[in-house]
C-alpha cells in the first residue's frame, strides 16, 4: 500500500480515479488545485503523485516547479495523466522527465483505470 | 463561417474546437464510470445518464447558436418572463449541480416585467454558461460551492445571470478568455480547467440575439449574465 496524491480538477473523474486506486490498495488524497496540493503533500508525505496539467489558476507545470523546489520531494515520482496530448511536449520532454521528474505520461482520453493502476504500481515498484 | 453585420467572425473554428475538447470530458467520465461499474459490479446508471444528458445539451446549445447566427431573420422574438427563464435554467442545471456538489440557488425576488427576447436562445445561453460555471467552481479550491441564478435591475436594463462568491467572474477574465480562445486550450484559466466552451457558446448565442455576455455584480456576489430591455409596450397590454 502506498500514499498517492491525486491532483485532478474534475470532481467526477477524481471520484472514479480515487475508487480505482483505493481498490488497488492505495491510500489516496485528492486535490483539485496546485496550491492545495502543496499543502496536502506537506501533511501526507505521498509516495507518488498523479497530476493533471490543466488546472485552474496555477498549472500542473507550476505545481511541479514548486514541488521540486523542496529537497524532500525531489525523488517522489510524478505520473502525469492529462487531457493534453504528450505530443505537445515533444520538444520539452527532457524538461518534464529529467528536470521535473515526470516518470510516466498518460493521455487521459486513452487511459483506462486499469492502465492507470498498472502504471502507478510499476512506478512504485521502480521507486522501491 | 458565419459573420455578423460588423464582419467579425461569430462562429469560429476555435469555438468548434473548444466544443470538441469540452465534449471529451463527459465522454471520458462515462467511459471511466462504465469501466468502474464493470470492475465493481456496481454501475451508477443515473450518473451516466445525467453525464450524457449534459453532453447532449452542450451540443444542442452549440447547434442552436449556429442556427441563430446563420439565420437571424428567423429569430422569433416574444414576450418573455425573465423569472420563468431562470427557473427553467435552474431545472436544467439541477442534476449537474448535485453531481458536482454545487448548491444552486434561485433568486428571482422582485417584480420584473416581460422582456422581448428569444426564449429558447436565452435559456440555452444561461444553461451553457451555468454548466461551465458548475464544472469550474469545484476546481477553484473555493470553500463556497454556491451558484445563484438571479435577476435584478440595473441602469442599463434587467440583468439575468449566474453569480458566485469568486472574483474570478470578472470582465477582465471574460475579455482575456475571448482573446485567448484562439490560442489557448484553457482560455479561462482562472475560471475553468477545460476549454470553457459553455461560456463561449453562451457568448455566441447572445451575440446572435444582439445581446452581450457581461460581467455583473449582484449583492456581494460576482457573476456573468446579460442585460435585457424591458418590453414596456407588452407590459402595458
The per-residue pLDDT for range B169-196, each reduced to its tens digit, is 999 999 999 999 888 889 999 999 999 9
**Does the distance separating the beta carbons of A57 and B39 come in below 8 Å?**
no
Mean per-residue pLDDT over chain A, rounded: 94
**Does the distance separating the beta carbons of B29 and A10 come in below 8 Å?**
yes
Query: The CATH number of the domain where A108 resides is what?
Result: 3.40.50.2300
Residue B38 covered by a domain: yes
For chain B, the residue count is 237
The per-residue pLDDT for range B199-225, each reduced to its tens digit, is 999 999 999 999 999 999 988 999 999
Residue B112 half-sphere exposure toward CB, CA atoms < 13 A: 28
**Does the distance separating the beta carbons of A112 and B29 come in below 8 Å?**
no
Mean per-residue pLDDT over chain B, rounded: 89
Out of B36, B100, B190, the one facing A56 most closely (by C-beta) is: B190
The answer, for A39 touching chain B at a CB cutoff of 8 Å, is: no
Structural domain containing residue B134: 13-236
Structural domain containing residue A16: 3-127
Find the residue in A nearest to B48 (Cα): A12
Query: The CATH number of the domain where B145 resides is what?
Result: 3.30.565.10
Domain count along chain B:
1
The per-residue pLDDT for range B119-160, each reduced to its tens digit, is 999 999 999 999 999 999 988 877 679 999 999 988 889 999
Out of A13, A36, A83, the one facing B141 most closely (by C-beta) is: A36
Please name the residue that has the C-alpha cell 464510470.
B33
Beta-bridge partners for A80: A51, A105
Residue B107 covered by a domain: yes
Candidates B142, B145, B137, B131; CA nearest to B192 is: B137
pTM: 0.92
CA–CA distance, A112 with B38 (Å, rounded to integer): 12
The per-residue pLDDT for range B43-73, each reduced to its tens digit, is 999 999 999 999 999 999 999 998 888 887 7
CA distance B27 to chain A (A): 9
Find the residue in A nearest to B34 (Cα): A16
Domain count along chain A:
1
**Does the distance separating the beta carbons of B51 and A54 come in below 8 Å?**
no
In this prediction, residue B6 has a pLDDT band, given cuts at 50, 70 and 90, of very low
Q: What is the 8-class DSSP label of residue B102? A: P
Please name the residue that has the C-alpha cell 434587467.
B158
Residue B8 covered by a domain: no
Q: What is the 8-class DSSP label of residue A96? A: I
Q: Taking the C-alpha atoms of A12, B29, B22 and A31 in order, what is their torsion angle to the nearest 10 degrees?
A: 30
Amino acid at each position: 500500500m502506498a500514499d498517492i496524491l491525486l491532483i485532478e480538477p474534475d470532481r467526477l473523474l477524481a471520484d472514479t480515479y480515487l475508487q480505482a486506486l483505493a481498490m488497488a490498495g492505495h491510500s489516496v488524497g485528492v486535490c483539485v488545485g496546485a496550491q492545495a496540493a502543496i499543502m496536502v503533500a506537506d501533511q501526507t508525505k505521498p509516495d507518488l503523485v498523479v497530476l493533471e496539467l490543466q488546472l485552474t489558476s496555477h498549472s500542473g507545470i507550476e505545481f511541479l516547479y514548486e514541488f521540486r523546489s523542496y529537497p524532500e520531494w525531489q525523488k517522489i515520482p510524478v505520473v502525469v495523466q492529462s487531457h493534453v496530448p504528450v505530443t505537445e511536449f515533444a520538444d520539452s520532454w527532457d524538461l518534464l522527465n529529467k528536470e521535473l521528474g515526470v516518470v510516466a505520461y498518460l493521455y487521459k482520453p486513452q487511459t483506462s483505470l486499469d492502465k492507470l493502476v498498472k502504471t502507478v504500481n510499476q512506478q512504485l515498484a521502480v521507486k522501491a | 463561417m458565419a459573420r455578423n453585420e460588423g464582419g467579425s467572425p461569430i462562429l469560429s473554428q476555435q469555438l468548434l474546437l473548444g466544443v470538441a475538447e469540452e465534449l471529451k470530458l463527459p465522454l471520458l467520465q462515462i467511459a471511466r464510470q462504465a469501466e468502474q461499474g464493470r470492475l465493481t459490479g456496481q454501475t451508477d446508471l443515473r450518473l451516466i445518464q445525467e453525464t450524457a444528458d449534459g453532453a447532449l445539451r452542450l451540443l444542442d446549445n452549440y447547434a442552436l447558436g449556429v442556427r441563430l447566427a446563420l439565420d437571424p431573420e428567423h429569430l422569433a422574438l416574444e414576450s418573455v418572463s425573465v423569472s420563468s427563464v431562470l427557473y427553467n435554467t435552474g431545472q436544467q442545471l439541477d442534476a449537474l449541480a448535485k453531481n458536482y456538489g454545487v448548491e444552486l440557488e434561485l433568486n428571482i425576488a422582485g417584480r420584473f416585467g416581460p422582456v422581448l427576447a428569444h426564449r429558447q436562445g436565452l435559456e440555452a445561453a444561461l444553461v451553457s454558461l451555468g454548466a461551465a460555471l458548475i464544472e469550474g467552481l469545484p476546481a477553484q479550491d473555493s470553500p463556497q460551492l454556491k451558484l445563484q441564478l438571479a435577476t435584478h435591475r440595473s441602469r442599463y436594463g434587467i440583468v439575468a445571470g449566474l453569480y458566485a462568491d469568486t472574483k474570478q467572474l470578472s470582465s477582465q477574465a471574460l475579455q482575456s478568455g475571448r482573446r485567448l480562445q484562439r490560442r489557448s486550450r484553457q482560455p479561462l484559466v482562472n475560471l475553468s480547467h477545460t476549454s470553457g466552451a459553455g461560456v463561449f457558446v453562451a457568448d455566441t448565442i447572445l451575440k446572435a440575439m444582439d445581446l452581450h455576455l457581461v460581467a455583473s455584480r449582484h449583492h456581494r456576489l460576482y457573476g456573468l449574465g446579460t442585460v435585457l430591455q424591458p418590453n414596456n409596450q407588452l407590459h402595458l397590454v
